[in-house]
Amino acid sequence: MPSQTNPQNQNQAPQQSQPPEKEASVPTPEADQPQVEAEVPAQETEGTPADQQMSEESMHEKDLAEKKETTSTQKLLDVEAIKDGVLVLRNRGLRAVIMCSSINFALMSEDEQKGKLFAYQDFLNSVDFPLQIVIQSKKLNIKRYVQKIKQAERLQENELLKMQTAEYAEYIMSLVELANITSNHFYVVVPYTNPTQANEEGIMNKIQSFLSPGKEAKVKLTSFDKDKKELALRVQTAMSGLSGMGIKTAILDTQEVIELLYTAYNPVVAQNQIMGDIEKMRMENI
């Protein structure tokens, strides 16, 4: 009997333990996990049309931004070109700029003030064309002057004079920064527009200029020379009238005209930037 019970107990023991069955029950929840992972991309695929719309809208906005950036701000200006110190407008009008000196009207006597007023009245009556008076105020730039002083300091052999030159340069720079000294410049703009050219801006002329641009360029060049002569007569009339009031005048050249426009449109940047020689730059032909 004991020999029979022992094999039964041995057979029951492995049946009760059965570790493989427990190990088989564990993978069953793990088998469900791939189903959860399969559901995640399904949720992402549902949102893809909205994402595609957002991406398309963002790309469209970027394209519009790039198109806006390519548009030059020069197209908003009335000035088309500058040649021989003359501004050429888009309507083929010409403008010349005269730089004028200033007079201290407040320090004059009463008789001198009346004389200046009568001279100014005669000047206005002598011209039969419109004029534009421009006053440009900008901060005094003494960088070039200070550079000359520092150069003289380096070349100075006397130690005492060298020290005094350095102190003078520092004093000038501190004085300009604290006092905020500005300089005023006065200009008179003389205009001229050929009345025949103003009426010739028709559709047929635009078609002809498109078909034969070389011929149109020659016509513009010849018309510019003729209009420039008429403009020069007006400039001489204005300068003679201004000289009668004791005002010194000078016609601006191409570089000075560009500096004037650059300072007017970029007042902050122009304070610290010194423009180079304009003659070395490539100018657009008319």
| pLDDT per residue as tens digits for the range 139-182 | 777 888 888 999 999 998 888 999 999 999 899 888 877 777 78
54/189 same-domain check:
no
Produce one character per residue of 177-213: b if its CB has 16 or more CB atoms within 10 Å, e if not.
Answer: eeeeeeeeeebbebbbbbeebeeeeeeeeeeeeeeee
268/148 same-domain check:
no
174/242 same-domain check:
no
52/145 same-domain check:
no
116/149 same-domain check:
no
Total number of domains constituting the chain? 3
> CA separation (Å) from 28 to 16, 23, 24, 36, 138?
21, 10, 7, 14, 84
60/102 same-domain check:
no
pLDDT confidence tier of residue 240, bands split at 50, 70 and 90: very high
67/209 same-domain check:
no
Average pLDDT, integer, range 198-205: 52
pTM attached to this predicted model: 0.59
Question: Residue 252 half-sphere exposure, CB side, CA atoms within 13 Å?
Answer: 24
**59 lies in some domain:** yes
- Does residue 203 or residue 238 have the better pLDDT? 238
Contact between residue 201 and residue 223 where contact means Cβ atoms under 8 Å apart: no
**28 lies in some domain:** no
- Does residue 274 or residue 178 have the better pLDDT? 178
Residue ranges making up the domain that contains 149: 141-180
148/236 same-domain check:
no
- Does residue 103 or residue 286 have the better pLDDT? 103
61/175 same-domain check:
no
- Does residue 140 or residue 284 have the better pLDDT? 140
**117 lies in some domain:** yes
Query: What's residue 217's pLDDT?
Result: 44
119/254 same-domain check:
yes
**173 lies in some domain:** yes
- What gap in Å lies between CA 105 and CA 255, rounded to an integer? 31
**269 lies in some domain:** yes
User: Sign of the C-alpha dihedral, residues 97, 99, 100, 102?
Assistant: positive
pLDDT in tens, 19-76: 444 444 444 444 444 444 444 444 444 455 555 655 666 665 666 555 555 556 667 7
Contact between residue 241 and residue 123 where contact means Cβ atoms under 8 Å apart: yes
pLDDT for residue 90 is more than 50: yes
Query: What's residue 77's pLDDT?
Result: 80
**276 lies in some domain:** yes
110/155 same-domain check:
no
- What gap in Å lies between CA 86 and CA 74, rounded to an integer? 17
Query: What's residue 7's pLDDT?
Result: 43
**214 lies in some domain:** yes
79/67 same-domain check:
no
